[in-house]
Amino acid sequence: MTLDQLIPAPAHAEAVPGSSFAAGPSTTLWAGPGTESTERWLRTTLGAALGLPLPPGAEGAADSVALLIDASLEPEAYRLTIDDTGVEIRGGAAAGVFWGAQTLRQLFGPDAFRRAPLRPGARHSLPGAAIEDAPRFGWRGMMLDVSRHFMPKEGVLRYLDLLAAHKLNVFHFHLTDDQGWRVEIKRHPKLTETGSWRARTKWGHRRSPLWEERPHGGFYTQDDIREIVAYADSLHITVVPEIDIPGHSQAAISAYPHLGNTDVVDTEALTVWDTWGVSKNVLAPTEDVLRFYEGVFEEILDLFPSTFVHVGGDECPKDQWKASAAAQARIKELGVEGEDGLQSWFIRHFDQWLTARGRRLIGWDEILEGGLAEGATVSSWRGYRGGIAAAKSGHDVIMCPEQHVYLDHRQDGGPDEPMPIGFVRTLQDVYRFEPVPAELTEEEAARVLGTQANVWTEVMEHQGRVDYQVFPRLAAFCEVAWRRLPAPDERDFADFERRMTAHYARLDALGVDYRPPTGPLPRQQRPAPEGLTSSDLGRPIEGPPPNV
């Protein structure tokens, strides 16, 4: 591979004419203090793919790969040098060294993305190069919804590998929703005994007439979560858990009916929701519910060391609170302004609770309604407006607007697109996404910690469907998140598309079931039954998305 085939493209890459290096069975690996995670990764992943044992070698030896920390660089920055004597990767911290190794992997070509060598004993050539690179944002993430459709642990670990290969460093783990509770909580075992399974599942969008008439579910044990978090850490990825409150909670209420608004609905009759959309069954605003979820979050904090903990806070219908005498009495008791104030009280409570334990609350932009909690960070999903309001009021923001980086939205307007949802968001559209709105001042723009792409899985019933929706668009997103690009209209998409030709070969080697540039393969399509159209199964929205 050549320097002009890298994704994301580095800030500076210079070829060294007449210089090259061929790694082979005799190539050694020297790892300086603090680079042990990359040392292990090079042997177990890159070395295994290319048949390179990479035995320990001496510092400064020829025919070697050298790893070292260079405090003059920013923590995630790296400097990669390739010459006739070998490879050197310098990073400002361990993460920087690791991202440099990801660039090295791409330069070895698609064979480096396999699990076993195609040519054992062969030497693998690298071009002479001097690369200096650093990310634009400290938060470069992807959210995966495992509530609507459960992804087994091995699939999650595989996605962590895919994020690392694209220099993404945050995995937002959406673990609970109306359709399933996916994490073991030992003090509340019914959350998974009851709340992790639903009797059937809507096939397609919620207005589809079709059902999959079989149970769906699953959950991660606490040891599964520990394994996922530890594996992510080895890849320099932070796992941010999401426990959704006070809405999107029907699965929890079905397991523990007292959590719901029992004076207006028979919560004993509720089951884990089997369709999509926004359930009206939300948590009751009681002290008992607060204590219950404090217990949940105590176990979550034991499992996830991340600074940020996501509490959802989105799409909380107020119908039951309006009808509930208990909720109305609570509003008067607390002295808050209506149902929006009640939601704000809920979020503020857990903002203070998490802050007292050295953590930070993050929630979807609806947490702005009724007043934003003092320490809260906002995931701006309904557009830019929530993020702009939060940044202007001195709060941190993660930009993830639905109109740009919701990867459940369809990739093309053609009739063969499987389960078409939302606006058409092409590879080019994602490449032209700009996370920082122009109207923010320099000080306000610094509140944008980063960006993430969101993957909601209502119409993604298995890993292959997730692959199809995520790729190749995640490759475009990773360049947006990593690199400081020109203004959207000035970006060289033709060059990116050219580089994608090489990247498709990498994805092929990784076994990613991406959407081909020419459209879905026959097996990737979801043809509608006789008498229905693909629009009956999905929810396509025509025209360009609003820029809000």
Q: What is the pLDDT of residues 164-209, one digit of tens each?
A: 999 999 999 999 999 999 999 999 999 999 999 999 999 999 999 9
Query: Tokens 């070998």 belong to which residue?
Result: 86
CA distance 144 to 239: 11
pLDDT of residue 242: 98
* 12 phi, psi to nearest 5 deg: -145, 125
pLDDT, tens digit, 9 for 90 and up, residues 209-224: 999 999 999 999 999 9
Supply the CATH classification number for the domain 139-540. 3.20.20.80
Stronger pLDDT, 100 or 1, i.e. the higher one:
100
Closest CA to 81 of 39, 35, 129: 129
DSSP state of 44: I
Residue 2: pLDDT band with limits 50, 70, 90: confident
CATH 3.20.20.370 for domain 3-133, yes or no, is no
Mean pLDDT of 111-120: 96
Tell me which residues are annotated as active site: 177, 248, 315
pLDDT, tens digit, 9 for 90 and up, residues 274-331: 999 999 999 999 999 999 999 999 999 999 999 999 999 999 999 999 999 999 999 9
The residues spanned by each domain of the chain are 3-133, 139-540
Torsion, CA 49, CA 54, CA 55, CA 58, rounded to 10: -170
**Integer CA distances (angstroms), 460 to 202, 405, 465, 526, 542, in order:** 11, 16, 5, 11, 21
pLDDT, tens digit, 9 for 90 and up, residues 249-279: 999 999 999 999 999 999 999 999 999 999 9
The answer to whether the peptide bond before residue 437 is cis (omega within 30 degrees of 0) is no
DSSP 3-state of 263: coil
Q: Is the dihedral of CA 468, 470, 471, 473 positive or negative?
A: positive
Which helix (H) or strand (E) segment is 505 a member of?
A: helix 493-510
pLDDT of residue 546: 85
Query: Tokens 């426990």 belong to which residue?
Result: 243
Residue 535: pLDDT band with limits 50, 70, 90: confident
pLDDT of residue 547: 79
